[in-house]
Chain A
């Protein structure tokens, strides 16, 4: 009974966060702001949904299924990479936003725009 309540709560929580993440993507005005919605809300959404699924098959069916853990780990590892690459593409393509970037604090600029400094030992 308690397990059922916990599973239901987790499913509702997941649906709420997935919806809010997509709402942020549709509602916010600039790309860098839109990036915040999916990267955060969807990870907790997917995370709690997969925990709910694990609990469901463990408590209701009595069988432990571990595939959910793999999916969760995979999504948590790949979400930052996706966000970083979309942000990189945005900075490279949007010349207005590029002027608003803060300085790096050293002589060498940001990697997307100026590229990494030339290393003589490494042939590319």
Chain B
């Protein structure tokens, strides 16, 4: 019964919180947010057949801290490359990152992380979802870049979303 009424509890919570932040803290906005938070997941649940499963929520905090730190470092690296290097002397190339992750949520998180961090942009996924196409702005050693992505982000995501 409860599962039919609230198919995605986390989504409901998110909608309520965002609605309150948008419209100011008051009972009226909380109530309207709750109505929307119940109605929207209810009417869109046909498109979301199963819930994403999160094994260890505490790991997300550690992961977010690492990614935020990497974003700051990445910005300074990319700024240096843009300001002090001529564009045609950069060794830019595509590399393939083979994936061990299986769930779509984990792969989405990994692709987003890769785009935000040091000199890499994720460009495409292979048809079967087993490899990610990544473009590096400057790399001496493609294998080392791939290994760094796998050890730094993928293993942590694997512990968060899968086991």
Within the complex, are A and B direct neighbours (CB within 8 Å)?
Answer: yes
Binding site for B on A (CB under 8 A): 16-17, 20, 23-24, 27-30, 32-33, 35-37, 39-41, 43-44, 66-67, 69-70, 76-77, 79-81, 83-84, 87-88, 90-91, 100-106, 108-112, 114-117
Contact B115 A28 (CB under 8 A): no
Separation of A116 and B126 alpha carbons in the complex (Å):
8
What number of residue pairs across chains A and B have CB atoms under 8 A from each other?
135
Contact A32 B125 (CB under 8 A): no
Separation of A64 and B43 alpha carbons in the complex (Å):
34
Contact A102 B116 (CB under 8 A): no
Q: Shortest Cβ distance from A104 into chain B, in angstroms?
A: 4
Given A76-B116, A83-B115; A111-B125 close (CB under 8 Å): yes
User: Could you jot down 25 A-B contacts, CB within 8 Å?
Assistant: A16-B79, A17-B79, A23-B82, A27-B82, A32-B123, A32-B135, A39-B116, A66-B21, A67-B21, A69-B21, A80-B111, A80-B116, A81-B112, A87-B122, A91-B123, A101-B94, A102-B96, A104-B133, A108-B127, A110-B124, A110-B133, A111-B124, A111-B127, A116-B127, A117-B127
Contact A70 B21 (CB under 8 A): yes
Separation of A88 and B121 alpha carbons in the complex (Å):
11
Contact A112 B115 (CB under 8 A): no
Interface residues on B, range: 35 or more
Contact A33 B115 (CB under 8 A): no
Given A32-B123, A87-B121, A101-B133; A44-B115 close (CB under 8 Å): no
Q: Shortest Cβ distance from B22 into chain A, in angstroms?
A: 7
Binding site for A on B (CB under 8 A): 18, 21-22, 71-72, 74-75, 78-79, 82-83, 87-88, 90, 92, 94-96, 98, 111-112, 115-116, 119, 121-128, 130-131, 133, 135, 137
